[in-house]
Structure 1
Amino acid sequence: MKQSYKQFVIRDWQKSDRSSAAEVIRRVLEEYGLPWQPEEADRDVIEVETAYFGTGGEFWVVETEGKIVGTAAYYPVKRDSKEVEIRKMYLLPQVRGQGLGKYLLQKLEKAIANKGFKVIYLETASVLKEAVILYEKNCYQPMTEVATARCDRSYYKKLNRLNSS
């Protein structure tokens, strides 16, 4: 996958992206006072091949001027019922406010629907106010269960045929 949005290139993660993508996520988490947990919640960023590609998911990076400035990913959580979790959707501060988050979310939803998945889950933290607003504006419904310690919000969205067109 490779596509453009304004001055950004969104493409599939490659092995050479491992440290740069992890650094983007670490920086955004620390900006909001959240811990970077490479042995726990962020282990999937270190082990992209296993966590995403090995399970039927995808991991994308966002570049501008040859530098990675964002990430977005998903992987299946329950194969029988066609459910996925959106993960690692992070943008550096200098690229926020340009519609990139909304664009990424729409592209993730389309990719997920095109693979036949029916339900999307995600977790976030209240301090990530922009993310909470984005998900709620895009019809994600709150849930009570949260599996990740640093997160205090979870959402789901059921996909329908309209999402896959």
Structure 2
Amino acid sequence: MQTQYQDFGIREWKESDRLTTANVIHQVLLEYGLSWEPEGADRDVLEIEECYLATGGEFWVVESQGQVVGTSAYHPVSRGEQAVEIRKMYLLPAARGRGLGKFLLSELESAIANRGYQQIWIETASVLKEAVQLYESQGYQSAIGVETQRCDRVYWKCLSRTPASPTSRGSGIK
């Protein structure tokens, strides 16, 4: 995966990105008053090979002028039908307000559909108002069953032509 959006480059994560991507996510969480949880909800950022790449997911890095300014990822989960969860979609303030989040979400949805998945799940926190607005504006439906402590909202979207009800709950890798 390698693409451009305006002056942003979006590419696959590589091992040398580990600390930089973790720092971007940590900065955004702090900005919104959310805790960085390297032993919990953010363990996956430090173990990308195991939590994303080895499970059939992807982890992308967003760069601008040679600097990492954002991340986005997904991995398969057992909740729902042929489902994935989008995770770690964070942008530093300098990368916001230019349509990049909407573009990233669209690219993720295309990649997920191309791999044959039918449902996308997203957990987020109400304090991330821009994210909530983005997901709702792109057709994500509110659901129940939040699995991550700092999140208080969960959304889902069906990519198949015949929508199914989100009834199955399982635990994916967090």
Q: What TM-score, normalized by structure 1, do the two folds share?
A: 0.95
Aligned to 1:78: 78
Tell me the matched-pair count.
Answer: 161
Q: Greater shift after overlay, 148-157 or 72-81?
A: 72-81
User: After superposition, what is the alpha-carbon deviation per residue over 1:43-93, rounded to whole angstroms, capped at 9, x for unaligned?
Assistant: 000000000001000000000111100000000002993100000000001
Partner of 1:108: 108
In structure 2, the residue matched to 1:145 is: 145
Aligned letter for 2:2? K
Query: Cα deviation per residue 1:89-114 (whole Å; 9 max; x = unaligned)?
Result: 00001110000000000000000000
Partner Cα separation in structure 2 for residue 79 and residue 15 of structure 1: 29
CA distance in 2, matches of 1:133, 1:80: 23
List alignment gaps of at least 5 residues for structure 2: 162-174
Is 2:119–2:160's contact at 8 Å kept on the other side of the alignment?
no
The residue that corresponds to 2:171 in the other structure is none
Residue identity in the other structure for 2:41: A
User: Within 5 A, what are the aligned runs for 1:3-152?
Assistant: 3-78=3-78, 81-152=81-152
Which range moved further: 79-88 or 90-99?
79-88
Aligned-residue Cα RMSD (Å) equals 1.2
- Indicate the SS of the match to 1:35: coil
Structure 2: how far apart are the matches of 1:57 and 1:93?
26
Q: Which runs of 4+ in 1 moved over 4 A?
A: none
CA gap of 1:127–1:80, structure 2 versus 1, over 3 A, is: closer
If asked which structure has higher relative contact order (CA below 8 Å, sep 6+), I would say 2
Distance in 2 (alpha carbons) for counterparts of 1:118 and 1:6: 29
Identity %: 61
CA distance in structure 2 between the aligned counterparts of 1:27 and 1:141, rounded to whole angstroms: 28
* Structure 1: runs of 5 or more not aligned: none
Question: Which structure: greater helix fraction?
Answer: 1
TM-score computed with the length of structure 2 as normaliser = 0.90
